[in-house]
């Protein structure tokens, strides 16, 4: 039916899918591309709002305004009931998410030539680790927001299960598949029996042997790389003349996508000025102060993200930090990155082992590991997951589109 779609509202990128005979299910959301970066920019110069790649371009071109990214990370946290200041006006975070999801809906409908009233939204296995109440609240919040922008019926599917449905459409025999979905905010896993015959069933509960996940993803890898390599150039780990450590909150805020704007509050800027006067390594704190004065936190986060991506293909990479004062050229190494994220990878490793235990499946019973999600390109993480099931075939899906395509299939099955 033309009124049912799948929506993958991701931490880093979002997609929308609609099953059409003979065509790709993913709808082009920006410049002919299926992905729309989950970014909003409020342009104070022109009093306009832009989304996705256009938002990033406007920000990098130097327009005055406010950039918001990793919006999904607000779900399930106390921040969702808060607000931020945009052009001197208070903007509730719930309204911010509604603006972005409403834009995804509008663009999907424009491409399809149809109005979508039903949707299956992807969700991580756990929005919040170890807190069922917060997890339910996150799903309820997303459901309320989806309905507020015009979806009359909203259903949810675990993101790795959606990726499994996409993979299932490509196979010709039964397989026991470990789905590894490493996204921007979470690492989610499912162990599923898939086959062309099983694909015809509406109810797939008996085919899902186990699901698991942990709130670790690409933005966390960015954060740890930033703290290990970049933030020391801004004074992270240094001390005041009294011997006390410089507070780490400035660095953690700047290294975490959805908290960058907290570094720009009046209170934070005033406190930083006092720290600069008393810093042992004053030049580093002055560099931090200039970066914050210029609202360049998102620019810095983008440099770190690009450096992380470069390390997937090369043992080292150079970050040109030309907005530092003075400019700096920083060489980062894959080995240092892997050491920084090792505790995160160990946690993901344990999550997968627990999944296999919960399912009562031995490692040699798994036929295939299906990798999806943009952050599955992190070599160390991928190697560790693959090593847990050494006899399984390793398959890479559409890293940014498998979930959206699977959600479109699920929407077709659920809504007709």
pLDDT tens per residue across span 238-267:
999 999 999 999 999 999 988 998 899 899
E-strand ranges in 250-399 read: 316-321, 328-333, 368-372, 393-396
Cβ–Cβ < 8 Å for 18, 27 = yes
Distance in angstroms (rounded) separating the CA atoms of residues 374 and 398: 9
* Widest distance between CA atoms in the chain: 70
pLDDT band at 23, cuts 50/70/90? Answer: confident
Q: How confident is the model at residue 24 (pLDDT cuts 50, 70, 90)?
A: confident
Mean pLDDT of 214-228: 96
- Residue (of 35, 154, 134, 28) closest to 81 by Cα position: 134
Neighbours of 335 (CB within 10 A): 12
CATH architecture of 4-172+398-415: 2-Layer Sandwich (3.30)
Q: How far is CA 32 from CA 6, 27, 107, in A?
A: 18, 9, 11
Q: Does residue 41 register a pLDDT over 90?
A: yes
> Angle at the Cα of 26 (from 20 to 27), degrees rounded to 5?
90
Eight-class DSSP state of 63: -
Q: Domain limits of the chain?
A: 4-172+398-415, 219-338
Q: How far apart, in whole angstroms, are the C-alpha atoms of residue 262 and residue 253?
A: 7
Q: What angle do CA 129, 373, 147 make, to 5 degrees?
A: 65
pLDDT of residue 63: 85
Note the pLDDT of residue 236.
97
> Are 172 and 342 spatial neighbours (Cβ–Cβ below 8 Å)?
no
The pLDDT assigned to 61 comes to: 86
CA-wise closest residue to 343 among 211, 237, 223: 223
pLDDT tier for residue 191 given thresholds of 50, 70 and 90: very high
d(CA 339, CA 67): 31
Question: 0.85 exceeded by the pTM?
Answer: yes
Q: How confident is the model at residue 130 (pLDDT cuts 50, 70, 90)?
A: confident
Q: Residue 203 — very low, low, confident or very high, per pLDDT cuts 50/70/90?
A: confident
Strands 118-123 and 4-8, by their bridges, are parallel
Q: Per-residue pLDDT tens for 297-348?
A: 999 999 999 999 999 999 999 999 999 989 999 999 999 999 999 999 999 9
Q: Is residue 64 packed enough to be buried (19+ CB in 10 Å), middle (13-18) or exposed (0-12)?
A: exposed
């Amino acid at each position: 039916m033309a009124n049912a779609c799948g929506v993958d509202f991701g931490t880093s990128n979002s997609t929308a899918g609609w099953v059409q005979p003979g065509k790709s299910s993913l709808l082009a959301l920006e410049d002919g591309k299926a992905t729309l970066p989950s970014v909003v920019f409020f342009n104070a110069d022109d009093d306009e709002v832009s989304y996705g790649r256009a938002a990033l371009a406007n920000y990098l071109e130097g327009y005055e305004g406010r950039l918001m990214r990793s919006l999904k990370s607000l779900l399930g946290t106390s921040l969702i009931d808060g607000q931020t200041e945009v052009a001197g006006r208070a903007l509730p975070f719930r309204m911010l998410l509604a603006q972005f999801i409403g834009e995804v809906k509008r663009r999907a409908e424009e491409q399809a030539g149809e109005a979508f009233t039903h949707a299956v939204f992807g969700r991580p296995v756990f929005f919040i680790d170890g807190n069922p109440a917060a997890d339910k609240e996150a799903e309820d919040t997303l459901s309320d927001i989806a309905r507020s922008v015009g979806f009359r019926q909203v259903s949810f599917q675990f993101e790795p299960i959606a990726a499994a449905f996409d993979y299932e459409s490509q196979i010709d025999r039964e397989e026991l598949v470990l789905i590894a979905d490493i996204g921007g905010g979470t690492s989610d896993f499912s162990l599923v029996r898939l086959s062309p015959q099983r694909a015809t069933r509406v109810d797939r509960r008996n085919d899902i042997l186990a699901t698991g996940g942990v709130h670790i993803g690409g933005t966390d890898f960015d954060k740890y790389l930033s703290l290990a390599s970049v933030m020391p150039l801004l004074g992270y780990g240094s001390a005041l003349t009294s011997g006390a450590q410089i507070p780490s909150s400035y660095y953690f805020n700047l290294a975490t996508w959805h908290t960058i704007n907290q570094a720009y509050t009046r209170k934070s800027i005033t406190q930083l000025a006092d720290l600069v006067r008393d810093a042992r390594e004053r030049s580093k704190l002055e560099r931090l102060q200039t970066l914050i004065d210029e609202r360049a936190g998102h620019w810095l986060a983008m440099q770190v993200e690009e450096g992380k991506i470069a390390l997937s293909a090369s043992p080292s990479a150079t970050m040109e930090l030309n907005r530092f004062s003075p400019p700096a050229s920083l060489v980062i190494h894959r080995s240092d990155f892997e050491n920084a994220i090792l505790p995160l990878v160990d946690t993901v490793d344990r999550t997968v082992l627990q999944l296999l235990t919960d399912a009562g499946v031995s490692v040699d019973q798994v036929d295939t590991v299906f990798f999806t999600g943009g952050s599955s390109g992190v070599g160390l993480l991928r190697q560790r997951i693959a090593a847990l099931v050494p006899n399984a075939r390793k398959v890479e899906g559409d890293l940014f589109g498998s979930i959206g395509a699977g959600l479109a299939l699920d929407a077709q099955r659920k809504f007709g």
